Amino acid sequence: MTALRILAVWALICLGAATPALAANAVVHWNEVAAANVDAGGRGPAGILDLAKVHLAIHDAVQAYAHDAEPYCTAIPNASGSPSAAVAKAARDVLVALLPGAAQDTAVETAYQAYLTANSLVGNAGIAVGQAAAACILKLRANDGSFPTSNVPTYFGKPNPGPGDWVPTTPNSTTSMVAVWLADVTPFAAKSGDQFGAESGPKNLRSGLYAQEYNEVKSLGAKTNSTRTAAQTDLAHFFSESFTLLTQRTLRSVIDKYVSELSDTARVFALANVAGADAAIGTWGTKLRFDFWRPITAIRNGDIDGNPQTDKDAAWEPFITTPNYPDHTSGANNLTSSLLRTLELFFRSDRLTFDAESKAPLAVLKIRTYNSFTDFRKDVVDVRIYQGIHFRTADAVAFRTGQQSADWAFSHILRPLN
């Protein structure tokens, strides 16, 4: 951001006002299209990789006109036409190339043609700019491991699991861990896939600290007879929808309210999603390295962990369904922390008032107002305990590693040229 833009944002923060949203901010619009289709494509935790590619292509397309930040893949000379057309084409081409199945391709193409028509951009010269940006990203990431097609790795836990070892948590216990290959994907900004993996592991099973976390999630995270307050239960419902949709919607809420420059919008979306993607890669390597059991397994087997302070409950169930991958560390917290930390770095302040909206059907409070990015991130640390699917250490460590991923990406790629 230029000095003038920073001053403008600070003025708006101090006055409690919002930047008037552009009538048709192409980047915000195509983030919404991309998030919806990536989520519908069933990529699960790997969807953040696709969003990073979409937004890197968009960033380079916008930089063909703005020339105020480093491109990621290519500098496109002699750009003409509309930047909005370039954004739409960049997003469209990456999505169509990545998303599985004709249904998603049709949905994206329909959205693309409708956008061009509504904004009088059919045949606009900017389309060629977006095409070039997308082609570079797709070529650069063609063999990054994010779409394994042969010898796709599986993992079902150790052959003879013991206390503390992860086992599949699906009704069919022979179901492989989700997206095992994610740990080996080439990172976007990090030097290696394990750069933001957690150095510290879960608490020792025989320790008092482990017993404390065990009993916390056993009590607060139970499906029935929980000690959650009504407010904690509603927070658990609020964060029970797709994290891809919820976090990207939150990004849009902040950026659409406070950022007016198209180049700034493109840059912060790209940085946030790159940080999220690298955090996810590190998370999956960490999960495989520590291979730690989930609360549902631990609590049902509390008699074999060697800790006299952990009473077994063979019928215990978590508030929400446990995802089928190990506990340590939390993917949701890595993702949330990296995205919201990017916003903090971009605005040079943690203190910003914004709304987060959930589409979870059972959430009573659908819109929550936050006064800092850290408050949102801390809610996600607590909520995975209220939902019964993580021990606190898994959340707290992910809070830190997600932040580290954002710090690295922000200081190493897409840097302002001025």
Q: Which residues contact residue 109 at a Cβ distance below 8 angstroms, ignoring those fewer than 6 apart?
A: 92, 96
Worst-scoring range by mean pLDDT, 1-10, 145-154, 349-358? 1-10
pLDDT single digits (tens) 97-124: 999 777 888 999 999 999 999 999 999 9
Residue pair 391/295 in contact by the 8 Å Cβ criterion = yes
* CA geometry: angle 367, 260, 341, nearest 5 deg: 55
Burial class from Cβ neighbours inside 10 Å (0-12, 13-18, 19+) for residue 79 reads buried
Express each pLDDT in 155-199 by its tens digit. 999 999 999 999 999 877 679 999 999 999 999 999 999 999 998
Q: What is the mean pLDDT of residues 67-86?
A: 97
User: Over the stretch 277-311, which tens digit does the pLDDT of each residue have?
Assistant: 999 999 999 999 999 999 999 999 999 999 999 99
Q: What does each C-alpha distance from 315 to 71, 226, 296 come to in angstroms? A: 54, 14, 9
pLDDT band at 20 (very low <50, low <70, confident <90, very high): very low
pLDDT of residue 199: 87
Per residue in 136-160, pLDDT (tens digit) is 999 999 999 999 988 899 999 999 9
All structural domains of the chain: 19-146 (1.20.144.10), 158-418 (1.10.606.20)
The span from the CA of 264 to the CA of 342, in Å, is 13
Q: What is the pLDDT of residue 61?
A: 98
11 pLDDT band (50/70/90 cuts)? Answer: very low
DSSP 372: E
Q: What is the pLDDT of residue 7?
A: 35
Kindly report the CA angle at 55 between 53 and 56, in degrees rounded to 5? 65
How far is the C-alpha of 232 from the C-alpha of 387, rounded, in Å? 9
Q: What is the pTM of this model?
A: 0.93
What proportion of the chain, given as a percentage, has pLDDT over 70? Answer: 94
- The residue assigned the tokens 């008037």 is 20
pLDDT-derived band at 15, boundaries 50, 70, 90: very low
For position 8, what pLDDT does the model report? 36
pLDDT at 174: 75
Give residue 4's pLDDT: 37
Q: Report which secondary-structure segment, H or E, holds 208.
A: helix 208-220
